[in-house]
Amino acid sequence: MENRIPKSGYIGRFSIRNVPIFIHWTFPVGGVFFAFFLGNPTLIRALPLVAAYTILIIFHELGHAIAAKMYSSKVHCILVTGAGGWCIAEKPKSFSACLLFYAGGVIAQLLLLLATTLYIVTFGSPESKVLGPFVFVFTLVNAVLIIINLIPAGKSDGMRLVAAFRERINP
């Protein structure tokens, strides 16, 4: 499996619960894109957006990893790039494991969206130039990415869920 892990372009590596996470040099692209989208591409605005976007991607991929581990599947690694992330794990062994694995990322995102919404309801929207971008990414950007992840196209989680149901119906 190690040969499936790209060797070039990854500048950082750390682990969470024995799952190696590789960070590609392109990881800031997502946050910088949102800084330009907001019309305020200053460094003070871009850095929290980069951090929040990276955390959101890692959170999504950890959702897949947790789901895989719940069904005793080996998780090889998580890759994080500017375009998104990938959880590389053993193929799920059952229909329920497959559903949970491919839905795991969106479930993690929904939990983050719920927690952020509860924070806003309880404490109000932060005025801080640091916390404000986190709330923006963990709510609006998160909701858009949840929808994108569920669209059954390409190699999305939505497409893999549809494929699992098709295989279940027509074995």
**Cβ contacts of 12 within 8 Å, gap of 6 or more:** 22, 23
pLDDT in tens, 45-73: 788 888 898 899 999 999 999 999 999 99
- Write out the two tokens for 82: 């500017």
What single-letter amino acid sits at 88? I
Whether the predicted model's global pTM rises above the 0.75 cut: yes
DSSP 85: E
Q: Is the pLDDT of residue 121 over 50?
A: yes
Report the candidate in 100, 79, 95, 91 with the shortest Cα–Cα distance to residue 7: 79
